[in-house]
Structure 1
Amino acid sequence: MGLFFQRRNNKKSARPVIVIRIIMAMIMGISLIWGIVNGSTFFFLRLIFIIAGLVSIIDAVEAYFQKENKRVYLIDLGFAILWFIFAFLFSN
């Protein structure tokens, strides 16, 4: 049971990072709704993937400055690269 319920350090995100995440999530939601209304969802999906990549980069930078394990911010950077690849695939 200890494997699933490990204690994490109580390192909280800085307030500006939380605000940036909220703003990015709102932009992603508005883009998704706007794309559904306009019918051109591929352009807006590309925008959503780019924003998700930026959020992953922000998470990686925050993990780096909080002295997290190297694996944590490398995984975040890997997800950022994955999001940017998805954005490139939807560029048609």
Structure 2
Amino acid sequence: MSSNKGEQRVGIIGAGSFGTAIANLLAYNTDVLLFSRKPGMVSRINNTHENLGINISSRVKATDDIQELAERCTLIFPVVPSGSFRNMMRDFAP
């Protein structure tokens, strides 16, 4: 991914099957930062470009750093189970 601050980047919170699918679709037109709380999953995604048996676009980068996601993305989609949504939003609160 480019470090150009003028370039738009989309963030996806949630690296499950649905988040991964959305990230791949968005990657047709933009760079995507995919957030997971699991460092092992982040490493695997970045090293193999695969998650849960799904090939991932080279335009998708994974991170477990909430601050990186918030700072680098102009648009963020939360794609997490409804039972996790409230706690996830607390993590992003100032």
Which structure is larger by alpha-carbon Rg, 1 or 2?
1
TM, length-normalised to structure 1: 0.27
- Compute the TM-score of the two structures, normalised by the length of structure 2: 0.26
Higher relative contact order (CA closer than 8 Å, sequence separation 6+): 2
The answer to which structure has the higher helix fraction is 1
- Structure with a larger share of its residues in strand: 2
